[in-house]
A and B are shown apart, each in its own frame.
Chain A
Amino acid sequence: MALLIWILHNFWSLLVLSFATLVGLRIAYRFRRYGATRAELSHILRRSPFYLVVLIFCFFAAAPFLIMFLHSFKVDGDLYRRPQPFVFRQDPTLEHLESLFTNTAYLDFIRNSVVVGVAVVIITLILALPAAYALARLTGRWGERAGILMFLVYLVPPTLLFIPMFRIVVMLGLKDSPLALIVVYPSFTVPFSMWLLQGFFKAVPPELEEAALVDGYNRVEAFLRVVLPLSLPGIISTIVFTFTLTLHEFIYALVFITNTSRRTLSVGVPTELILGDVYFWQPLLAAALIIAIPVGFAYNLFLDSLVQGFTMGAVKG
């Protein structure tokens, strides 16, 4: 605890220090490798404006997250007295973080979101994998049109659909249960994932499947043994994307579930931590940041193949 407090107090000096150390190590490495010559020095000088600009943009990109991080530890007095986002004028505190975990159902929200997310991902894959494969391969003239038609479903906004959906959910007796979300979410995740996966499947040469057919497998086996392993990056990015779609969905989650402990993150956090016009900023920011970091990492890892999936569909579609 004391260590964390000390780190927060000296946050900026530590950040600058570690950055300077990294730059120093890099220069030292280049000197050892290429010699501390005039040419090397001028190389470093020539490149430094470029890195300076990169640094500025990095700061712009990271600033919201830094502010969120630092604010989570501020006492009320420090936060509300003339905003000063990047410095602690009073000692940082962990009390807000503690209250987030103890006084709210934050852990329940996380659990519910993960349960709903995983279930929806599984349902989506079961439905979208064969559908996308069919659209990518076994189509005549109507295949493409059917695909576009299905994608149009995705474009109908939940704000239009939530009332009829609510009646369906009530009819099924699923009101106030995460099951309601598990049933309803595939209505937009399936068309989207299908579209994404279709692009990846189209990128697998049909000859590979034909080779598998001649080699003694049927179509399902050829799909499972050849197409699926080759489009694995695409499938993983589809999983990440589907999961985040369910994570930030708001309207359905708000309408279908009223019991606090059964809510998901996207609804639970704002309803618990904003009471009327009172914002509990510190726990609110902490709650958002804690869930944003793993998702952000997952996105970055698969960003390339995600973009590839969209463009492959576009070029060859």
Chain B
Amino acid sequence: MSLVELQGIKKFFDDVRAVDGIELEIENGEFLVILGPSGCGKTTLMRMIAGLEKPTAGQIFIGGENVTALPPRKRGVSMVFQSYALYPHMNVFNNIAFPLKAQSREKKYDKRAIRDKVENTARLLEIDMLLDRRPRQLSGGQRQRVAIARAMVTQPAVLLLDEPLSNLDAKLRANARDELKEFQRSSNITAVFVTHDQIEAMGLGDRIVVMSHGKIQQIGTPQLIYDDPANEFVATFLGSPSMNILRSDAFSFGFRPETFLPKTLADNPENSRIFHYYVKRVEYLGSDRLLYGYVHGHDNELTLAKVPSNVRVSLDVDCDYEFAVHNSDIKFFDKRSGQRIEQQNLQGVV
């Protein structure tokens, strides 16, 4: 039995289908990332797990118990908000102790037990020297840790995180990502992490749920989702720069820019597809060269190639080259629905 189960969850705001039929199981101890562009319903979905929104239809189970009608406080979840939502009128200690004080009515923590728990959690997150400060006296990274400490201190069944890294500057973010993952692994807590940032999703997630237009597009490990996208949306949403998609009369097909290399560099040319590639522009990005150009026969579809800089092949603007993609790196999609389809014959298409 999975820890969290969502069955046929729907949420409509007037006529807008924010979440439109979600089936999802979250396993104990896993780090699940919900990834999607803004407005895809991922935050609404998380708010429904937390109990802050009531689903229009469907049921939510946490630990085997149907919690669909329960208020947030009876669900055993805690949440880190995008803005952290620290209480500005309390110092850090009281912020972290706030959920414990709520529980203390039933579980009878005394003052000492609360103090011990707060201090332990604070030490774990290395904010124990900040306990007397007010939230506005803290930096962005410190606030984020306080928010996580407040969410963790009650040892919830599920920790929900709503884009907690998006308010940090880029330098801190990589560091915070690493610490968050380390922390989740060591405490073995189940985490659901909502983000629109694919790097965060790939780096943190044990599994990724890709969402768009209120529906799940694909669920899988980061590698599966990247290498084996279920449809055109997932294929183009992940990866930077995103997958090249070319259209033929019968179907679409795509390949990632980093698999699109000069023919001389291809591992085994006999298993590769050769394209005639016209280079329009070259961007030198340090570790890579990013080529903008067109594949012969697809003059309206901008195609990118990402060639490592350490490969000493001269690639000049306004020239034609032979580029190759390994057959297994070419993905085929249905032209209408965008779903993945079987390998098609490319003969005569390019």
Chain A interface (Cβ < 8 Å from any Cβ of B): 205, 207-208, 210-218, 221, 225-226, 229-230
Contacts and interface: CB of A to CB of B under 8 A. Distances in A.
Interface in B63-109: 71-73, 77-79, 81-83, 85, 87-89, 98-99, 102-103
A201 to B, nearest CB: 15
Contact of B103 (A211, A216, A225): A216
Interface residues of B, number: 22
Nearest to B76: A216
Given A207-B83, A217-B73, A218-B73, A212 B88 contact: no
B78 A214 contact: yes
B290 interface: no
B207 interface: no
Contacts of A210: 52, 72, 79, 81, 85
B150 A215 contact: yes
A207 B150 CA distance: 15
Given A215-B98, A216-B99, A205 B85 contact: yes
B74 to A, nearest CB: 9
B121 interface: no
Contact of A211 (B71, B77, B85, B89): B85
B99 A215 contact: yes
A207 B81 contact: yes
A84 B87 CA distance: 59
B87 A214 contact: no
B230 interface: no
A229 B89 contact: yes
Given A226-B87, A230-B89, A211 B81 contact: yes
6 contacts: A212-B98, A213-B52, A213-B71, A214-B52, A215-B78, A216-B99
A226 B85 CA distance: 11
Contacts of A214: 50-52, 72-73, 77-79
Nearest to A216: B102
A216 B73 contact: yes
Contact of B154 (A213, A216, A218, A225): A216
A210 to B, nearest CB: 5
A28 B72 CA distance: 63
Interface string B31-75: 000000000000000000011100000000000000000011100
Contacts of A215: 73, 78, 98-99, 102, 150
B60 to A, nearest CB: 15
Q: Lowest 8 CB-CB distances: which A-B pairs, in order?
A: A216-B102, A215-B99, A211-B85, A207-B85, A216-B73, A213-B72, A214-B79, A214-B72
Contacts of B51: 213-214
Nearest to A209: B85
B79 A211 contact: yes
Contacts of B103: 216
Interface in B220-275: none
Nearest to B73: A216
Nearest to B47: A210
B97 to A, nearest CB: 10
Contact of B73 (A207, A213, A229, A230): A213
Contacts of B88: 208, 230
Point out which of A208, A213, A214, A215 has the most chain B C-beta atoms below 10 A from its C-beta: A214
Nearest to A226: B87
A230 B89 CA distance: 7
Contact of A218 (B52, B71, B99): B71
Contacts of A208: 85, 87-88
Given A214-B73, A214-B77, A217-B73, A205 B99 contact: no
Contacts of B89: 229-230
Interface string B282-293: 000000000000
B1 to A, nearest CB: 24
Contacts of A216: 73, 99, 102-103, 154
Interface in B103-129: 103
Given A213-B52, A214-B52, A215-B150, A205 B83 contact: yes
Interface string B140-163: 000000000010001000000000
Contacts of B83: 205, 207
Contacts of B72: 210, 213-214
B79 to A, nearest CB: 5
Nearest to A215: B99
B201 to A, nearest CB: 23
Point out which of B83, B102, B150 has the most chain A C-beta atoms below 10 A from its C-beta: B102
